[in-house]
Chain A
Amino acid sequence: DAGVTQSPTHLIKTRGQHVTLRCSPISGHKSVSWYQQVLGQGPQFIFQYYEKEERGRGNFPDRFSARQFPNYSSELNVNALLLGDSALYLCASSSSTGGGRETQYFGPGTRLLVL
């Protein structure tokens, strides 16, 4: 079975632009989470979606938004890009949400560089 897929793998943007990152979860998984990982740190939680509803939001500005589609794929949008948005953006899928025992499986990530 295919794992979590993300596109694109790499992206270069300039300050002020916007970007859309895409994620397809493991088949059968209904929950998608987005994380940002800057160099030298652990991933930081941005959003979680389950059955197309937002179930959690991390401490990120409103420039960050996301949505989940009926097929459970997801998009992360970032507007008005800043240099500090340069990071590895990770998508993780799990079979459900709540309870805390569900394992999250990560995709390969999208590496975003903002110039």
Chain B
Amino acid sequence: QKEVEQNSGPLSVPEGAIASLNCTYSDRVSQSFFWYRQYSGKSPELIMSIYSNGDKEDGRFTAQLNKASQYVSLLIRDSQPSDSATYLCAVPSGSARQLTFGSGTQLTVLP
């Protein structure tokens, strides 16, 4: 089992819809979770971090964490074509708490 798994996609949603991105992790002691957005040919950009069970909202983005189910998700409301990118879920692990990434979900928002 991979340490961090994401629904591989690709995922396509129409403009204005809600995009839902999912991630599961295997390390039960993980305390923090990060979502990065990566445009094609660019480096990852942090969009959300979450540490506690429940929801965390930032503008059109909502991160949801369920530690009992080892599940974290990212919702993008009112999706825009500019949201088209690969979304990476990352969880600190290992002795240095380095980030372990999922393989990413490619999102396309159709105008």
Contact = CB atoms under 8 A, between A and B. Distances in A.
Interface of A: 33, 35, 40-45, 48, 55-56, 58, 88, 90, 92, 97-109
A45 B43 contact: no
Interface of B: 4, 30-32, 34, 36, 42-46, 49, 51, 88, 90, 92, 94-104
A103 B31 contact: no
A46 to B, nearest CB: 9
* Most chain A CB inside 10 Å of its own CB: which residue of B49, B97, B98: B98
B34 A103 contact: yes
A interface: dominant SS: loop
B96 A97 contact: yes
B98 A108 contact: no
Contacts of B45: 106
24 contacts: A33-B99, A41-B103, A41-B104, A42-B90, A42-B101, A42-B102, A43-B44, A43-B101, A45-B94, A45-B99, A48-B96, A48-B98, A55-B95, A56-B98, A58-B98, A88-B43, A97-B97, A98-B96, A98-B97, A100-B97, A102-B97, A104-B34, A108-B43, A109-B43
